[in-house]
Amino acid sequence: MTIFIIGFMGAGKSHWGKSIADSLHIDFIDLDEHIEHQENMTIIDIFNTLGETPFRTLEEKHLKQIGLNKDTIVAVGGGTPCFHNNMQWMNKHGISIYLRRTINYLEETLSKDFSNRPLLNNIDKDSLHSKIKNLIELREETYTKAHYIIDDINPTKKIIKIYDNLRK
Ligand code: S3P
C-alpha cells in the first residue's frame, strides 16, 4: 500500500512522512530527493537550467515509476498533484492524504527559509503572504480531492489510524 502525502510547500510533508514511516517500520520516499538523486541535479538547478515545464515532466515520470508493491509513504512536492493527471493517478494507485495548513502557518514556516524553493526565491518577505494565498487558491481544488484531509499540525495519530484501518 502506498500513502501519498500532499500539501503546500512548508506543510511538513517530508518531516511527518519520514517520522511516521519510521515508526511504522515501512519505507519512505521524498519525491523531490528521489528526483535529485535520479537526475543527479538539485531541484533548484532543474528549475534554473531547464525550467518549470521540464521539471513537471520529470516529476510525473518519477512519481509513476515509484514501486507500488511495498508499504511506503511518499511525500510528493507541493505542485505534484496539480500537474498532468498526477492527483488522479495517486488516488487510483494509493491513498492520498492532504496536510492542510493555514496561510499564516505556511508564511511563518516558509519565511524562515525560502531560498531553496524555486517558486518563491524571487520574492521578498512582504510578498510572501500574497504569493502563498494566490497559489493555494489555485491548488486547493486539486488538494481537496485527496482521500483524507488532516489539519492537525502533528498528523501522526491520524495517519497511523488510517494505515491500521487499511491493513485490516
Ligand atoms: C514545488 C514544491 C517543492 C518542489 C518544487 C516545486 C511546488 O516541493 O517540488 O520546488 O510547486 O509547490 P516541497 O513542497 O517539498 O517544498
Model confidence over 125-156: pLDDT tens digits? 889 999 999 999 999 999 999 999 999 999 99
Rounded to two decimals, the pTM is 0.97
Kindly state the greatest CA–CA separation across the chain.
49
Determine the pLDDT at residue 122.
Answer: 79
Identify each DSSP E strand in 46-110 by its residue range. 72-75, 95-99
Q: Give the integer Cα–Cα distance in Å for 100 and 115.
A: 22
Which ligand 1 atom is nearest residue 79's CA?
11
Q: Give the integer Cα–Cα distance in Å for 109 and 7.
A: 14
Q: 38 CB contacts (<8 Å, ≥6 apart)? A: 62
Q: Is 161 helix (H, G, I), strand (E, B) or coil?
A: helix
Place of cell 503546500: 8
Inter-helix orientation angle 103-112/125-143, to 10°: 130
Model confidence over 17-57: pLDDT tens digits? 999 999 999 999 999 999 999 999 999 999 999 999 999 99
CA atoms within 13 A on the CB side of 156: 10
Q: Give the integer Cα–Cα distance in Å for 99 and 7.
A: 5
Q: 138 CB contacts (<8 Å, ≥6 apart)? A: 82
**17 CB near ligand 1 (under 6 Å):** no
Residue 121 reports pLDDT greater than 90: no
Q: How confident is the model at residue 113 (pLDDT cuts 50, 70, 90)?
A: confident
Pocket test for ligand 1, best of 4, 5, 6, 9 (most atoms within 8 A of CB): 9
**131 CB near ligand 1 (under 6 Å):** no
Residue 86 reports pLDDT greater than 80: yes
In angstroms, what is the span from residue 168 Cα to ligand 1's centroid? 33
Model confidence over 3-17: pLDDT tens digits? 999 999 999 999 999
Which amino acid residue places its CA nearest to atom 15 of ligand 1? 77
In angstroms, what is the span from residue 161 Cα to ligand 1's centroid? 27
Grid cell listed for 85: 493527471
Q: At 161, which amino acid appears? A: K
